[in-house]
Structures are given as structure tokens and as C-alpha cells.
Chain A
Amino acid sequence: MRTISSTVISETVARLCQQANYRLPPDVLASLVTARERETTPRACGVLDQILDNAHVARERGIALCQDTGIAEVYLKMGQDAHIEGESLQEAVDRGVAQGYTTGFLRPSIVKDPLDRVNTGDNTPAVLSVTIVPGDKIEITVLPKGGGTENASAMRMFPPSAGWSAVMDFVLETVREKGINACPPLIIGVGIGGSFGTVCGLAKKGLFRPVGSVASDPAYAAREKELLSAVNSLDIGPMGLGGRTTALAVHIEHGPCHIACLPVAVSLLCHSMRRLTETL
């Protein structure tokens, strides 16, 4: 059994919130550079140049890439031989988010009640997901998720007979209808299977995979390639102004499901794709 203080969790979450919001991950940056080389129209090139310049300015000056510094989604892989001493895990994470956002000049974007809509002022509470894994380490990932991309999410229950072609049509329909507002070039997470409650989590899990990575199952790797090519044929392009790069990646995560069901969920991420991981 290894003991980790809740203060260390808070400090790590605070640091991750700030650094994630100031710096694009290297895989996303590399993929944007490649996209810029492939584009030919002045508008698409202009938008991608602004995105690359923005990443430089934000990093150099230690300011947020996007004013929407997101809802703080915190994913914790908790080793079953690790023990947290001090506050509850949710309290520790929330304290880290509050500290990270208020001292890091990040925008508080959370309202306490969805109908009364009064801002909590410090971006808490975090959306905390915990998975128990073997070992005694704690891996913490912070993904600040913008509201514009959350509004572009979609979920539908299909009959099993609908199959892969219906999944493809659904993803393409979602990108066609809502993709522009999610700030393309996008990263597209697709969840297939599970239940009504878990399929959205599968779609989000897809957002964590490095851009450019290939699904471990060859059948799904082929489907990802097919879908990415179809999405990039829509001519939505960077910020919806036309071009070859509507998405940088499509990542599919799948899981077992009921004999009567084919749940599908789509989660989009903007080009300001922020996520950062640290292991304690």
C-alpha cells in the first residue's frame, strides 16, 4: 500500500489545468502542421496559420489558448494499492481546479444550477471519472472541454440491423450539422456499444488517444480510416470555411452491448485540443 496526500492531488490538478490550457499537446501540434502543408485554399491556410501562431503566443506568454478554458474533466486511473490521505478525492480535485483556474487567469465557465445559471466563480466542480487499475500509482489527466464542442455532441440508439453503415451516416450527419460550431479541424471520438449511460464515455475515451494513433483492432482501424476520409470529403474545412481538413483524427472505442441494442455516441473536440497527464 502506497499513501499519497490529497494535497499532492490538488497541486497536480492545479498545475495540469494551467499547463493544459496554455500548451497544445505535441501530437495535436504536429498534426496541425501536417494539415497546413496539405491545404491549398487561402482561407484554409489562413485559419491554420492563425491556429499555429496562437499556439506559439499562448505558450510564450503563459495565457490560455482559447478563452473557453472549459469544464475541467479530470480522469483518474487509481492504482488499487494506492491510498489517499486527507480530503475526499472530489474535494481534493475541486480544490486543485479552483486553485488552477483562479491563479492561472483561466475563465470560470461553470454555473451551479443549469436553470438558475449563477456562475460558481472558480470553475468547480470538476467532472471526475475514476477507474481502478492494478498497481500503486495514480495517473491524472485533465481535459478542459469547451462548451461549443460539448453542444456538438450526439447520441442515438440504433437497432442492431442498422450496422456500420448507420454508424457512419450518424457520424457524418453530426459533423455536417454541428461540426462548424465545434471549431474544426476536429478530433472525433466515436463510442459504439455499451449502454445508454456508458456509450458517451466510450466516445470521450476516444479523445484521449494520441492523434495519429491506430486502433489496436485491425477491423476498427480500417473503420476509423474510412470514416476520417469520408469526414474530410465533406469540404467543411478549418472553421467551416472549406478545405481538406475537417478532422485530424477519428478514434472509435467499442464495447459489448445488449442483443437488442446498438448504442452510438459522437464527441467532438476542437483544434484547441487540450489534455495533459501526470503520474504520481
Chain B
Amino acid sequence: MPRRLVTSDLVQQIPALKAGDELLISGTLFTARDAAHKRLAQIIADKQALPLDLVGSVIYYCGPAPARPGDAVGPCGPTTSTRMDPYTPMLLSLGVKATIGKGKRSPQITAACRDHQAIYCVATGGVAALLSQRVKRSQIVAFPDLGPEAIWRFEVEDFPVLVATDTKGNDIFAR
């Protein structure tokens, strides 16, 4: 049975979560994919102020499709996580506690999750219409000029994910 968690609790409970645990997440996710990561890295390198608070945050690798009028969000499934691997250890060191995407990642991410007590979760790829029903509100918080690659704040209810990498170095894809 999946465990229900709110994002504030998720942060507290991360050390107890194990690779293979099913979660239903409620609370706040920030989307970021390739271009947003590149820009965040530049801001960090330049020692400028970040447009969002990374401490205790959950980053969702997603570039949503546009929403129909009246919908909270457009279709919004996960994108391939490994493309964000070069940036992830740095973001975890700045306080990001969970990342959500799809697919297998590099061994460096398993190590970084252990070092920074963070987890990596997978959502099912290609079921964007279904996942959009779990997003109750959405709003662009940074980089609107990047179009679908802007950073969005999603308020989610029972967003289904599976823990892929835990804080103990376990990885469900290491089979």
C-alpha cells in the first residue's frame, strides 16, 4: 500500500524511506528541466539570489504542456532524469531533499543522495494526462521566457511516485 506524505513530512521522513516504497505526495513541487537547471547553475556560480527557496524543496523534472482554460495545469509527466545528473549533487548540497523524474541515473546520484540525505523518486512516464489530475494549482515562479522549461510551482494531492534511490545507497534499477 502506498504511504501518504505531505512535502513537509517527506523531508522529515526521508531517512526512513526505502527504495521500492510507493508514495502519494501532497504539497509543493517545483518543476525544473534542462534549461532551468542550466540557469540555476549560472545564478549559483554568479552568487546571485535564487528565484526559489531550495531548502527542503522537491524538484520535479517536468515541462508541462499548456493547460486548457479552466484546468489547473496541462498534461505534466516526468522527463528523463539522467540529463539533470550534472547539476543534481550541487542542488542537493543546497538543500533539495527529493527529485522526481523517470529512468535510471548515474552512480554519482546514488552517492549524492546518501551524502545529502535525499531521495530520487520516479513517476510513470507518458501518463501526463492522468498525472495532471493530481495537480490542484500551478503557477510560474521563474524564467517565463523559457516557455515549457520555466520553473512552475505545483500544489499536488496524492501525486503517485516510487522511491528509486534512498539515503542508504539502494537503487531499484540496480538489478
Contact = CB atoms under 8 A, between A and B. Distances in A.
Interface of A: 43, 47, 50-51, 53-54, 57-58, 61-69, 105-109, 117, 119, 121, 147-148, 151, 180-181, 183, 235, 239-242, 270-272
A107 B66 contact: yes
A183 B124 CA distance: 8
Interface stretch (B41-49, B71-79, B88-96): B71-79
A66 B173 contact: no
Given A67-B76, A67-B77, A270 B125 contact: yes
29 contacts: A43-B162, A47-B124, A50-B124, A50-B127, A51-B124, A53-B127, A54-B130, A61-B129, A62-B68, A63-B65, A63-B74, A63-B129, A64-B75, A66-B128, A67-B63, A67-B74, A68-B63, A68-B128, A105-B67, A105-B68, A107-B66, A109-B63, A180-B104, A180-B173, A181-B102, A239-B122, A239-B124, A270-B126, A271-B126
Given A67-B62, A69-B65, 14 more contacts: A43-B162, A50-B124, A54-B126, A54-B130, A63-B71, A65-B126, A65-B129, A105-B68, A117-B35, A121-B147, A239-B122, A240-B104, A241-B162, A270-B125
Contact of B66 (A62, A106, A241): A106
Nearest to A148: B80
A247 to B, nearest CB: 15
Interface residues of B, number: 38
B172 A239 contact: no
A66 B149 CA distance: 15
Q: Report whether over half of chain A's contact residues are helix, strand or loop; otherwise say mixed.
A: loop
A118 to B, nearest CB: 9
Contacts of B130: 50, 53-54, 57
A107 B73 CA distance: 12
A141 to B, nearest CB: 20
Contacts of B56: none
Contacts of A57: 129-130, 133
B147 A119 contact: yes
Contacts of B125: 66, 148, 183, 239, 270
Interface of B: 35, 62-68, 71, 74-77, 79-80, 82, 102-104, 122, 124-130, 132-133, 146-149, 160, 162, 172-173, 175
A47 B104 CA distance: 16
A105 B62 CA distance: 16
Contact of A180 (B68, B76, B103): B103
B148 A109 contact: yes
A148 B62 CA distance: 12
A205 B74 CA distance: 31
Contacts of A241: 162, 172
B85 to A, nearest CB: 12
